[in-house]
Structure 1
């Protein structure tokens, strides 16, 4: 068993997401050797001095068996201490956990638990079973079912989707028609669709790490300013004992092992927080790190088979921001070139809404290469603010799952087929 006190060799499962990029910064600052797999040669994590080696791999979405074979080849011979799933690759790894066991440390629950947390419908049913609060929710399987279930304003969600994909805010009949058109053009009704009442309030997120059903670390933050696509541009750490208790109950019921994140709404009216989404991974862990809770480091220890002591509570009131999200959000909301330039100046001078805040995603002071994607984003938006949405969609690539790849991984023949592919 590797000694967790020394620098570890960590293989990160993808490099395109903001969550992976932040985890890499934390790993690098902690002195670990980091290598990254991703299908895109231009992924966000390429621009980091902390990445020792980049491995271009098959896309999880289009070729999950090929991606798995590629990862297994990287792990062969005990080259890595830990395999760290930072996004939906955990779905695949949980499915074939026995194949990875002994090749590298990996902290994931059993596949059925992972599957339940990953599915929006499964998570909603789990909340009902546990008696935990969520917005009024109906689960349907047809366009007619959506029509009958919608009460304006509402949120329509495909059961499979991440990073705000597959979510439609429906406030009118026109919004509903657009949502149904998008759902009908995809694969959503092959599974289930959720229709939830839209509750006015502030979006917050909770992050946690469990060891065999026992919570060892927890952090929560609220959205101070929105970016693009539902992401946060500015965050502030908060103390939420009630949400902590909810998440602890969820993790215990699932016998969770590894990272677990939950989104919730703090309603404008004085009622309990409402749980709205679950991600079986860490989502953008830097605010927690800046608040004194290293959930990434805790995940490494659990991956190595350790049972560390629970972490102390994180500090409240810690402000962090994502400059790229701030610029994209400004442009997506109709900001002009002067607006974007003003935002750039505020970010550079740490003034206005960024006073007292530290950068999460592109920490130029500690990782100067991260200035490259930030500068490119600023230059593109100053040339054409309308490109904000297109730039944001660039992160929803082949490193993620869709309904077809999920069915493939869940199929009875997948394990055998991928095993034979790996042996070639």
Structure 2
């Protein structure tokens, strides 16, 4: 058995590792102590919740705040932390604590888990990942605790602060306010909104970018990766804010009843959270259809590589746009910040995007034949699951057994797909010969 495990390649180990965490989480959530009813919950509901937490998605079939006990909520928080940082990162932490040497095989697995191009400096990066994560979560928990201490007893405020800081930084979207309300009670609260948005952005940028920003003295000396991530992220946030404000400005179910400041704050929050976290301050089901479709696009793009978020990633989106612009201009190369992007990266971006579309479209079509809901709602829920976002139009709690299994699988693929795919595409099998060139009419 040990020999078989040793022969597994890094992607297989990552898949089995995440699957093991999900199954352990499922068993723990099935315990009577994990919920407020004192009865064992259905396997599918526990499995769905554990998968959503481990894959840092946030889609729920049971109300986290009301249905699960403190024990169950702590289990969910631990699953979020393990899923966000990755079980290999946590394993490395244990090894570092006990001063055990990190083997070459473990470094290769970490390379895939953190979506890195090489194993050089990988252990040092893991140390930074852990330090940044703990620091940001602690600061976020402190600020949220202080704010919520005005609304609830200090003990509860501290508990809420820690749980939501973990959920926000790992882009999970779980909340404890009950009735599937998320942060809608604080749509006009600047402290909750600003702190939450800051935590979400830091979690969605990626640990490589955070490390680059902390260690850099001049912005112009940032790596190409960091420049692209920051530029695309900033553009998507601003563009998303403007679009949401324009589309929902007079909608009485969302922004219509808010003052000017509230409209801008809510628009910023939704623009940021839509690509990564899944918490909301306005009613998602109350959005206009055009806005819901726009959110689907943002969810599909997702966060950045090496972060706690999902989607095809901002760098993939940037390369696709760059390729289109180069083709329109008649240029041979895709150039970003005076650097030429290798052709293999362009092919990889195209492959990831196409396979992601196949997953989203395929699951949506299957669910459309099984679930009693509109096509847009099903597409929205599927994209949210694949992008590990967690926003919902209210369909998830009403899913059938097969529907819950499909969405669970979609969350799992969304969390691990890009990692395993990136590893598979990084392998180069050199051909001994080349076929003659053929021409096909395009367009």
What is the TM-score when the length of structure 1 is the normalising length? 0.31
TM-score normalised to the size of structure 2? Answer: 0.30
* Rg larger in structure: 2
- Greater strand fraction, Structure 1 or Structure 2: 1
- The structure with the greater share of residues assigned to helix is 2
